[in-house]
Amino acid sequence: MEINVEAEKQAILKDYRQLLRIARPRMHKGDDKRIRHAFELALDAHKHMRRKSGEPYIHHPLAVAKIAAGDMGLGTTSIICALLHDTVEDTEVSLEDIRKEFGATVAKIIDGLTKISKISHQTESIQAENYRKILLTLSDDIRVILIKIADRLHNMRTLDGQSRKNQLKIASETIYLYAPLSHRLGLYSIKGELEDLAMKYTETEQYKNIANKLESTKKDRNKYINDFVRPLQAEMDKSGLKADVFGRPKSISSIWNKMRKKQVEFEDVYDKFAIRVILDSPMEREKEDCWRAYSIVTDKYSPSPTRLRDWISHPKANGYESLHTTVMGPGGQWVEVQIRTKRMDEVAEKGLAAHFKYKENKTKAQNTAEEAIESWLMQVRDFLKNQDVNPIEFINDFKLQLYQKEIYTFTPKGELKILPAGATALDFAYSIHTNIGDTTIGAKVNNKLVSISHVLANGDQVEIITSRKQRPNDDWLNIVTTSRAKSKIKNSLREEKRKIAEEGKELLERKLNQMKAHFTNDNINVLSNLYKAASSLDLFYGIAKGTLNLNELKQLKVVGGHLEIVKPEKIGRPKEEQVQENYTEESDIPKNAELVIFGESSSQFPYEFAKCCNPIPGDDVMGFISINGMIKIHRTGCNNIINLASKYGYRIIKTRWTAKTTPAFLTTIKLVGLDDIGIINKLTSIISGEMKLNMQSISLETNEGIFEGIIKVFVKDNNQVNKLIAKLKAIDGITSVIREEI
């Protein structure tokens, strides 16, 4: 295909001018020249490179820079780094070149981004250990991870050009790490888009279904929003408040999550949109004006007494401020209303960068929010310092804190401590100081004596009681919920373990001397294999504690000071391979589906269907090579396979159904409806009579006129399931019919 060089040049210049327009509000004198210099360097460095779509590669860094400037509100330094983020990794430009042209700060950020890129290319997927390295960049400069999120967002927007396997791998990584990180950094708009784009590739059918329904109901929804907003806007104007009242649709992924969580149909999700009231208020009147607006809303529409959320008096730890209430709108429909100022809205949309933009005349609430953000970043840095933690364990602990809801607690002197919901008195102690946590024996909550495992509630005032004789123990790990507390306890336990291990090391050294064997790393490795110890530390510790018997050394012989195993024992797998897949127990589904694995007939490979999601023909599926070599087949939207794909992408294999299938796949249908005489007869006449399907079981439970039913039925593919669901929905009195995932 002939390339129109002039047309491509004009498209690049158009992209660049758009970037300047977006960046201009935050530019200072001379910034335009610096950005131009970065653009020209990137343009020249990438001049021979093209994306998989065929377009010049420079469009990608320009797009990342526009996201950084527009969606995140970042400044000139970040824009320059976004433009240059792939140069050191992919071109002849060196880090020293960057340092000479743009200074040490830009070079440091580019270095962080380059390390992430190198990590990403080491295997087909970013693995758990590599996640840890990515997160280490938080301790250097937060802009590294912000630009990386912008880079990931553009890659997700242009994912169509990738292979199906890469789409699933990248989408899984996105939903596993980048969306939660965006949430924690306050980038709610980006978080929602990342989740939607990930769903588009992992749960394509559900994504299209909801998107189509949103489009088909758009006219009615807009009419309802207008009817709801019109009287509110009039009252706001009459009161003298400068307010913009409008409706905003919820993301497709959030609607899907509600459908799954509440097990309802699309039509039964009431909050498919939210009403926003955005106030133009000076900072000193923000709180007052928000509550005035709340009064107007609740005077017009009756509020739900259990659905008020005040994040203005106590902002979230990522700086989010807003009033949320749910009110009864026209036609008996519940509607969520969010009230905040323009400044708060910018923080809500753009996160950290926008928050730190407001440095002058901050209110107490804003200071608290900034302190909370800094506190969280300090905790992350502290958490990341631990070098010898298992990477899988690390990433699971870290993820705990990304999506958790928050509670507000206080010290005896009234200092605010923001903790995740479910936090205990021991978590509170570690939030103050490690030494206080390590020596905690109890607490007083609202002046009442409680144990260290007491779960705290919103508004609790907590006084920690300590003793110099107290030391952490293994049970404490089951008491705490915060990653900071878990990390500190593990550090203390490891330190104690090291002290005990020293004794074991001395015992072993003496024993080896008696055997005339050398105390070397090679011999220690032989012993670790013999005792199935994960590390030399575990080996020494087990010997000291007496759980490892030195009599086992009789299985060894000494040749020239070297140990050799006489009776070979099964050697344990590397840590990474010790992942437990207990949720993928063998399915009842017969193994005669027409699957294609690695492009070949599935009959050539050992495989079974994952019981966690029960895939059937027609579902989007992917395979995962488990630790015993068995290929487990999952639905692409299954949470378990998303987690596995994000950690072990190299073990994901391309899998698909062919047209040829057999009618022997068990699926579960859940129904809810009004109890009625003859309901079972109606159900069975459709399933067995009309559709000629075989049922494994049917069970119905009724309570006060409402029944819930579970039907297990054999089908040939998901088209047959969808047809069955449609027919069951048509029965009078049936309010919900869904296919259960588990």
Contacts of 604 (CB under 8 A, 6+ apart): 597
Catalytic one of 8, 32, 55, 90: 90
Distance CA 609, CA 596 (A): 14
Instruction: Tell me if 159 sits within 8 A of 149, measured CB to CB.
Output: no
- The helix/strand/coil state of 325 is strand
CB neighbours (10 Å) of residue 122?
Answer: 12
Instruction: Tell me if 638 sits within 8 A of 614, measured CB to CB.
Output: no
Q: How far is CA 233 from CA 170, 291, 292, in A?
A: 43, 16, 13
- The helix/strand/coil state of 633 is strand
Here the tokens at position 688 are 């067995």
- The amino acid occupying position 720 is Q
Q: How far is CA 444 from CA 412, 430, 431, 456, in A?
A: 10, 15, 16, 11
| CA nearest to 718, candidates 617, 626, 634, 633 | 617
Distance CA 685, CA 695 (A): 12
The maximal CA–CA distance of the chain, rounded, in angstroms, is 96
Q: Where are the beta strands (DSSP E) in 433-561?
A: 440-445, 448-450, 462-466, 556-559
Q: What are phi and psi of 272, to 5 degrees?
A: -80, -5
| CA nearest to 279, candidates 290, 287, 294, 288 | 290
CB neighbours (10 Å) of residue 424?
Answer: 23
Torsion of CA 347, 353, 356, 362, to 10 degrees: -10
| CA nearest to 680, candidates 704, 663, 697, 703 | 697
90 catalytic? Reply is yes
Radius of gyration over every alpha carbon of the chain, rounded to an integer in angstroms: 30
| CA nearest to 209, candidates 143, 255, 176, 159 | 255
Would you please indicate which residues are annotated as catalytic (active-site) residues?
89-90
